[in-house]
Amino acid sequence: MTRIVVTGAAGFIGSNLIQGLNARGFTDILAVDDLTEGDKFRNLVDAQITDYIDADVFYPEFAAGSYGQIETIFHQGACSNTMETDGKYMMHNNFTTSVKLYQACQKRGARLIYASSAATYGASTGFREEPACERPLNVYGYSKLLLDQRMRRECGLAFERAFSGRVMQVVGLRYFNVYGPREQHKGRMASVAFHQYKEFLRDGKVRLFGEYGGYGPGEQRRDFVYVDDVVAVNLWFFDHPAVSGIYNVGTGKAQPFNDLAYAVVNAMRSAQGLSTLSLDAMTLQGLIQYIAIPEALHGKYQCHTEADLTQLRSTGCMHDFADVHTGVSRYVAWMLQHG
């Protein structure tokens, strides 16, 4: 039986990965996390796992050879709070622990597929997996970038090709703006789609930033990617152990926040048996309102992100990503069903 480890297992992407593995029949899964924030347990209630292991216990014990032969580790465990200012804490969680895990994987013969982030690009206007585009704006983005840089050195990665093959598979996946089920515990770090859903439930309206950065009201753009697509790409690399490298995971198509709000409002109206409205009609009826961007964000707010999928496609991964309308409709239906 194939034994798999998922770190950050009770978190957003980790718990969805377990669902994706379960759907394929994989149940010998070691779920690793820190449940100090106890409410995250809800994400594991319907998961089929072999065991739950606290993160403080797992990393040293795995390095020491416990848990038998591990096939693959999906390393999603990290501090993902982009507002965290404690650099020592961030670097220990996201860099030092991950490097030690990589070293243990090489020693124990386990493949490693880990979560990087589009935060590595930060202030850049280009989103290619190369140093010229890597300009993180916070210590979170830097912690992810430093790990990617370390993997490039350790694994002999040239920017235009995959790892040399002298090591076990190592894949870093730079997630863009992920949204979808099982993120309810993330608070302010949850996706825009989640917050718009909650805002519409509470206030009957969605608020977006007005004109800023050369973009019209609500026209600032992000590469919004549905979590099921993130899982699918992880599993594609799981199916292709000869492919290593650092790759973007996004739709490759930036969409404005207006599109997201339009999808959220109409999905919720549809659930209430109401007709679909145009964006103009929503604005006229006050269902979408535009507010000034806070002064604190001036000069620090990205108006456009869009994954360059050239490297991902070059591997043969041709996964078809959901657009905002499709993904948000599924997500709203899930939230309405699960309360």
Tell me if 328 is assigned to a ligand binding site. Answer: no
Distance from C-alpha of 297 to C-alpha of 89, rounded to nearest angstrom: 24
Of 13-27, 87-101, 156-170, the least confident:
156-170
CB burial of 313-330 (b: ≥16 within 10 Å; e: otherwise) equals eebebeeebbebeebbbb
Please tell me whether 149 is known to bind a ligand. Answer: no
Per-residue confidence at 159, pLDDT binned at 50, 70, 90?
very low
What is the tens place of the pLDDT at every residue in 41-66? 999 999 999 999 999 999 999 999 99
CA–CA gap between residue 135 and residue 151 (Å, rounded): 18
Q: Specify the pLDDT at position 158.
A: 43
Q: What percent of the chain has pLDDT over 70?
A: 97
pLDDT at 161: 46
> Is 209 known to sit in a ligand binding site?
yes
**Is 140 designated active site?**
yes
CA angle (250 as vertex; 245, 252 as ends), nearest 5? 105
Q: Is 102 a catalytic residue?
A: no
The residue annotated as part of the active site, out of 59, 102, 140, 179, is 140
Tell me the fold of 4-176+227-251+308-321: Rossmann fold (3.40.50)
Spatial separation of the C-alpha atoms in residues 242 and 296, rounded to whole Å:
46
Residue 253 assigned ligand-binding role = no
pLDDT digits (tens, 9 = 90+) for 167-178: 789 999 999 999
- The Cα–Cα gap between 74 and 33 comes to 12
pTM above 0.85, yes or no: yes
Residue intervals of the chain classified under CATH 3.90.25 are: 184-221+255-303+330-338
Of 100, 186, 205, 253, which is the active-site residue? 186
pLDDT at 305: 95
212 annotated to a ligand binding site: yes
Question: What CATH number was assigned to the domain covering residues 184-221+255-303+330-338?
Answer: 3.90.25
Provide the mean pLDDT of the chain: 94
What 89-92 contacts at long range (C-beta under 8 Å, 24+ apart), as own/partner pairs, is 90/139, 90/140, 90/143, 91/139, 91/143, 91/146
The segment(s) of the chain belonging to CATH 3.40.50.720 are 4-176+227-251+308-321
